[in-house]
Structure 1
Amino acid sequence: MHITIAGGGIGGLVTALALHDAGISVRVYESVPTLQPLGVGINLLPHAVRELTRLGLQAQLETTGIPTADLSYYNKFGQLIWTEPRGRAAGYAWPQYSIHRGRLQMLLLDEAIARLGADNVRTGCHLSDFETFDEQVRARFVNRETGETVADEWADALVGADGIHSVVRRTFYPDEGLPRWSGRMLWRGVSVAEPFLTGRSMVMIGHADQKFVAYPIDPLLAYQGRSRVNWIAELNVGTDTMPVRQDWNRKADPATFAPPFANWQFDWLDVPALIDSTDAVYAYPMVDRDPLPRWTFGRVTLLGDAAHPMYPIGSNGASQAILDARALTDALTNSPDDIPAALQAYETARLAPTAQIVLMNRQNGPEQVMQLAEERAPLGFQQVEDVITRGELETIAQRYKQIAGFEREKLSQV
């Protein structure tokens, strides 16, 4: 069996590692000529860390990411709404990691090259088109700048792990159009600052129309008593002005978004100082796509953001792609003689759960607690229990863990 993967992001690389670990031949094709440690921070939830640990990556994660100790939600006045331990601090068998996305991708890339061989991890190869046959799939890859064909690959299956602008997805859904925009913009940056709260805390402040997220991502700097803080500023800017695709991930002037956060100076975190001390800020629209009725077409299927792009709420994007990788590998291992059936089994296992997360994230997922506090107490509160009962807070937190698949009790039984 030989599998072709279009896309060398986190989902594509973890899938390659998992398939190789299961004894399945695999080759990855990535569009960009050179993969670089780009991006900012992400979080890996315990169920995703479990799968990476299964692939022998625990030691690398420990030296690359921060094991998140707790997650706390605050209102716009810096008043605590809800806090809960995370990862091992919450009794999980695996940590939750706050980690730089680019560093994680480089870790996975190095492992893939070492295990699969350099010839099986090819860059500068953009998927142009593909044809499906009864027994195989033929995929053509081009140099994106010149249009020259650089690879013509035959395989038993093609996995489209090629992101929110997936060529594979567009082939099957040509009329889908642009991603669905929330009306919210995200500005992301990384600053070096004093540690805040536990030094391994993740915080979310504000409400649906104005939010600030911060967490540390550099374990080496933490050992020196400093903190490299990933932060995200979010504002609702309306639904009529989504930037064109070429402007996504572009550098931004803090003056365009910082003023509404000017007074967010709390005893435990100085938001304006974090923004001011950042060398580069990047802007992104908050987008997703509607859940699909199917991912699999014969010997071709979708994975990760190509299958289920979602709002960056609840720390689920990368984690769900990693769970996809495990489900796909298990399906192919369990049904090696009927690949279309295996791909269909993978879809059956993953399509409905990820669709539920996409829709839940549109309702702000676990961050609903911040919006409830804003709606019920826009001027703040003396005690959060006067505004939201502890039962409500616990229900919201537990419901999202259940939907996203990382309930501690269920994971401990696997």
Structure 2
Amino acid sequence: MQIIISGGGIGGLTAALMLQARGHDVTVLEAVREPKPLGVGINLLPHAVGVLSSLGLLPALREMAVETTALVFANRHGQAIYRDPRGLGGGYEHPQFSIHRGQLQMRLWAEAAAKLTVISGQRVVNVRDEGRRAVAEIETADGPREMTADLVIGADGIHSALRRRLAPNEGPPCWRGVMMWRGTTWAPPFLDGRTMVQAGYSQAKFVVYPIGAPRADGLQLINWIADRRVREPVPGLTAPDRADWSRAGRLEDLMPTFGRWRFDWLDVPGLITRAEQMLEWPMVDRDPLPRWQLGRSTLLGDAAHPMVPIGSNGATQAIMDAQALADALAGSADLDTALAAYENERRPQCARIVAMNRREGLDAILDRVEALAPEGFTRLEDVIDPAEVAREINSYKAAAGHRVQGA
């Protein structure tokens, strides 16, 4: 088939490569005129790494990323609550990687550009159906143009133009009063140099993990995310204007909360103050849609299911969408049947993850420990049953698609 993908992010590019590998004629249209390796760190869960590995990208991931050994949950005093082994050491078939988002995107961009048509500076603003074909209406620097295809895939993010066709009155993204600051800092490795940590609780949380190997001076590029509730989650709460997203963060917004978070193994205020970049975003999502398909178009990634960034699900779920869509199209000669199969597989699971993350997802256990032991603890067993912690974390992981070998 002739397929147009609107959006050259991680999900769109992965879908393009998966579809091209199955013989489809794919064109990616990206709104940005000059894609650059922007952003900070992300985590690729093992099931997403398996998809990228099937495209021959595992050696590149090993070169660019840090192979994550564990996710550690800790309180705001730096005391470990639970250590969850990840990747091969956790019994998974594939590694888990912590990686710079921009570097991954540019590698996928280069792979796609070598195998299919990738065009920048082309924004898909609408799609209309003409018989059994889709017509993409496109904005360019030289004026509007149109392209026809058998299928148009909207991988154009949380502000998706294709999503607006399905939900024209949806309004702005949902916000529950939490802002997040993302930064990267060159610092000495912490713990084993390959561990991801979530410390704190829902009112104030600090997530930290390395995204590159140590350089010659021994310093490692550390990615960190500071979440802080700035408003109570009342009905009708409106997120900051979109023009203020990704703006430069300010130390004075973080230090009153995180300025004393000095652990035996990590100096949180030191990381924040030495950051080479720090950006601010509202933590938002959208309500699940009742459908993703409209005529000869469907949605993928954040366009389909934007979710609160808990549990490393953003890029991972977009990559899983890409595989499911490619498999569905290969499994049926009828496009409507294939798109229904794709949606039936992916939409319910992603809706569950959106709902779980609104209830704090994996971080819910941090709130429970904070409520039971706000000043910390000597023995975790005196505060909460470790087996209960393990059950709650493993239940979330199973719902989010984690599958260890032999399970």
User: TM-score, length-normalised on structure 2?
Assistant: 0.97
Inter-partner Cα distance in structure 2 for 1:354 and 1:379: 36
1:148 aligns with 2:143: yes
CA deviations 1:377-413 (Å, max 9, x no partner) are 112111111111122111111111111111214xx57
CA deviations 1:254-309 (Å, max 9, x no partner) are 11222211110111000000001012210000000011111112211010000000
Inter-partner Cα distance in structure 1 for 2:340 and 2:70: 38
- How much has 1:48 moved relative to structure 2? 0.2
1:308 aligns with 2:314: no
- How much has 1:79 moved relative to structure 2? 1.2
Give the aligned CA root-mean-square deviation in angstroms.
Answer: 1.3
Alignment correspondent of 2:291 = 294
| Preserved CA contact (<8 Å) 1:296 1:302 | yes
Inter-partner Cα distance in structure 2 for 1:340 and 1:259: 54
Alignment correspondent of 2:367 = 371
Inter-partner Cα distance in structure 2 for 1:18 and 1:293: 26
1:346 aligns with 2:339: no
Instruction: Name the aligned partner's letter for residue 380 of structure 1.
Output: G
- How much has 1:375 moved relative to structure 2? 1.1
Inter-partner Cα distance in structure 2 for 1:224 and 1:338: 58
- Within 5 Å, give how 1:189-338 maps onto structure 2: 189-219=183-213, 221=214, 225-238=218-231, 239=233, 240=237, 242-335=239-332, 337-338=333-334
Instruction: Name the aligned partner's letter for residue 401 of structure 1.
Output: K
Inter-partner Cα distance in structure 2 for 1:94 and 1:279: 32
SS across alignment from 1:281: strand
Inter-partner Cα distance in structure 1 for 2:292 and 2:315: 18
SS across alignment from 1:284: strand
- How much has 1:147 moved relative to structure 2? 7.6
| Preserved CA contact (<8 Å) 1:181 1:285 | yes
Alignment correspondent of 2:403 = 407
CA deviations 1:204-254 (Å, max 9, x no partner) are 1100000001000013x3576321000011100005563100110111211
Q: Which runs of 5+ in 1 are unaligned?
A: none
Alignment correspondent of 1:360 = 356
Inter-partner Cα distance in structure 2 for 1:102 and 1:81: 32
Alignment correspondent of 2:40 = 40
Q: Which runs of 5+ in 2 are unaligned?
A: none
Instruction: Name the aligned partner's letter for residue 137 of structure 1.
Output: A
- How much has 1:128 moved relative to structure 2? 1.8
Alignment correspondent of 2:85 = 85
Inter-partner Cα distance in structure 2 for 1:266 and 1:94: 31
- How much has 1:310 moved relative to structure 2? 0.4
Inter-partner Cα distance in structure 2 for 1:133 and 1:398: 47
Inter-partner Cα distance in structure 1 for 2:37 and 2:255: 26
Q: Using the aligned pairs only, state the percent identity.
A: 48
Figure out how many residues of one structure are paired with residues of the other and give that number: 403
CA deviations 1:98-152 (Å, max 9, x no partner) are 0000000001000001111xxx101100112221133110001112xx5811x41
Inter-partner Cα distance in structure 1 for 2:316 and 2:216: 26
| Preserved CA contact (<8 Å) 2:77 2:261 | yes
Q: Point out the more displaced range, 380-389 or 157-166.
A: 380-389
Structure-2 change in CA distance of 1:100 and 1:235 (3 Å): same
Alignment correspondent of 1:24 = 24
| Preserved CA contact (<8 Å) 2:174 2:239 | no
Inter-partner Cα distance in structure 2 for 1:59 and 1:78: 34
Inter-partner Cα distance in structure 2 for 1:29 and 1:325: 16
| Preserved CA contact (<8 Å) 1:13 1:109 | yes
Alignment correspondent of 2:100 = 100
| Preserved CA contact (<8 Å) 2:174 2:238 | no
Alignment correspondent of 1:393 = 389
Inter-partner Cα distance in structure 2 for 1:209 and 1:137: 46
SS across alignment from 1:353: helix
Inter-partner Cα distance in structure 2 for 1:91 and 1:402: 14
